Amino acid sequence: MTNKRILAIETSCDETSAAVIEDGKTILSNIVASQVKSHQRFGGVVPEIASRHHVEQITLIIEEAMHEAGVRYDELDAVAVTEGPGLVGALLIGVNAAKAIAFAHSLPLIAVNHIKGHIFANQLIAEMKFPLLSLVVSGGHTELIYMSSPDSFEIIGETRDDAAGEAYDKIGRVIGVPYPGGKHIDDMAHRGEDTYNFPRAMMHEDNYDFSFSGLKSSFINTVHNARQKGEEINSEDLATSFQAAVTDVLVAKTIRAAKEKQVEQLVLAGGVAANKGLRHALTQAVEEELPDVELLIPPLTLCGDNAAMIGAAAFVQLENNTFSDFSLNGKPGLSV
């Protein structure tokens, strides 16, 4: 049996990425060009700027991925691309590049959901085992997804308002750290103390949903009140207190869901999976409360947006013959 190779492309937000993945689990190359510096001075991703960067970068990044993998186009088995969710103008650049390559080299085209991609980043570090529960935490999503098999995705809980990463980025702006704030807040959180006692919304409710907008407002009000009164604020204690509130809720609900669903594996996914506090708290909770469940956490390089994870998810579709035709379009609001 020969190995199956997929060229994967990801352009849903502010990283242009291409990767070559073998058998859904081996990374032959994974090139990621981040645009974050171009968006930083605006305090968030500007869609028009994102599209423009993707257009400029996409061909170079694909060539680099093919070159680094040492693979020719006639040695590929498929081309995969993120079809959504994401910014429509950004998605379209990747989708059109993938279509052009599929057409030129007579390769099957595979459309991948970005969230499924984040989950399959775990397949690049260890064999995923089912049933599993995934905690997906990114800039746009906070979801608990139950998978009975590699192609079955059931959202059993989700945020009712802000995503976890979004809350990090918004409070980061209030205390003046560069966009995206998540990593900076995480670093500060390790130097302070949990003194502010922020709310842990919905932690004890009998469901698997989340809410972070109350926590965000509480944080912002604390900062504004202190500034109005001319009081000193301790940014590091604020960061520690915020991070403790976020991780307490995420970990409590994830552990409860994993127990109820009796899963084999628990996997962490998405940009916020890079959070040191969350990685530590979840690892500890699984050791203490679910010693028979295997926990997978992707390395930092595979937590943020990248095409390798898209190639890993696409392999399941290649094996199932789930292909797209040339009418494929970007789907900004696509759900799992």
Q: Is 186 in the site for ligand KG4 (CB under 6 A)?
A: yes
Q: What is the CA radius of gyration of the chain?
A: 20
**How many residues bind to ligand KG4 according to rule CB under 6 A?**
19
Contact with ligand KG4 (CB under 6 A) among 168, 212, 219, 242:
168
Give the H or E element holding residue 63: helix 47-69
- The Cα-based distances of 257 to 146, 155, 161, 251, 261 in angstroms read 9, 11, 20, 10, 6
Backbone angles phi, psi at 309, to 5 degrees: -65, -30
Query: What is the CA 213 to chain-centroid distance, rounded?
Result: 20
Residues within window 118-147 making contact with Zn ion, judged by CB under 5 A: 138
Q: Give phi and psi for 38, each to the nearest 5.
A: -70, -25
Question: Site for ligand KG4 (CB under 6 A): which residue of 94, 157, 165, 330?
Answer: 165
User: Looking only at residues 299 through 318 of this chain, which bind Zn ion when binding is defined by CB under 5 A?
Assistant: 305
245 binds ligand KG4 (CB under 6 A): no
In the complex, minimum distance from the CB of residue 319 to ligand KG4, in angstroms, rounded to a whole number: 25
Sign of the Cα pseudo-torsion (138, 37, 83, 300, in order): negative
Q: Of ligand KG4, Zn ion, none, which one does residue 95 interact with (CB within 5 to 8 Å by kind)?
A: none
The option from Zn ion, ligand KG4, none interacting with 169 (CB < 5 to 8 A, set by class) reads: ligand KG4
- The C-alpha atoms of residue 113 and residue 141 are separated, in whole angstroms, by 13
Residue (5 or 279) nearer to ligand KG4, CB: 279
Q: Which of 84, 94, 108, 271 binds ligand KG4 (CB under 6 A)?
A: 271
Rounded Cα gap, residues 25 and 38, in angstroms: 32
Q: Which of residues 39-68 bind ligand KG4 (CB under 6 A)?
A: none
Give the DSSP letter of residue 297. -
List interacting residues with ligand KG4 (CB under 6 A). Answer: 13, 138-140, 165, 168-169, 180-183, 186, 270-272, 274-275, 304-305
List interacting residues with Zn ion (CB under 5 A). Answer: 138, 305
